[in-house]
Amino acid sequence: MYSGVQIRTGSNPKIRRNKIWGGQNGGILVYNSGLGFIEDNEIFDNAMAGVWIKTDSNPTLRRNKIHDGRDGGICIFNGGRGLLEENDIFRNAQAGVLISTNSHPVLRKNRIFDGFAAGLYCSYEILEC
């Protein structure tokens, strides 16, 4: 199972103005302390989440359109962080943004709408949401 883009182990790429779709896992997977600037992309029609952020990763997602995924729009867990700003997150099969397992992202000015589950779902060891 593959993601369209994988960022890991301290990598810090700039991913701008792309269409990322049809991933067998997810659109973008950021893990094992991955970083990165993910801006102005369209991320859609992936088998899992549009974007996974996990295991101490801390990317910046700005002005992306994340939609029509068969799971959540953005899933953040296992100590994931990140700045999510001015993204349009819509028509995903699960939560627009799922935050779980001691994760602490910052969300600003995102538009989360027309999903088939909660817009924002916080669970397990989340102190603020």
Question: What are residue 120's DSSP bridge partners?
Answer: 97
Digit-coded pLDDT (tens) for 19-36:
999 998 899 999 999 999
Alpha-carbon separation of residue 24 from 5, 58, 75 (angstroms): 11, 23, 16
Contact 106, 128 (CB under 8 A): no
* Residue 47 CB neighbours (<10 A): 16
CA distance 80 to 52: 9
Exposure string of 85-119, with b = 16+ CB inside 10 Å and e = fewer, is: bebbbbebebbbbbbbeebebebeebebeebeeeb
Q: What is the DSSP string of 3-19?
A: -SEEEETT---EEES-E
Digit-coded pLDDT (tens) for 39-96:
999 999 999 999 999 999 999 999 999 999 999 999 999 999 999 999 999 999 999 9
Question: pTM for this one?
Answer: 0.93
Please report which confidence band the pLDDT of residue 4 belongs to, taking 50, 70 and 90 as the band edges.
very high
Q: In angstroms, how far is CA 77 from the centroid of its own chain?
A: 10
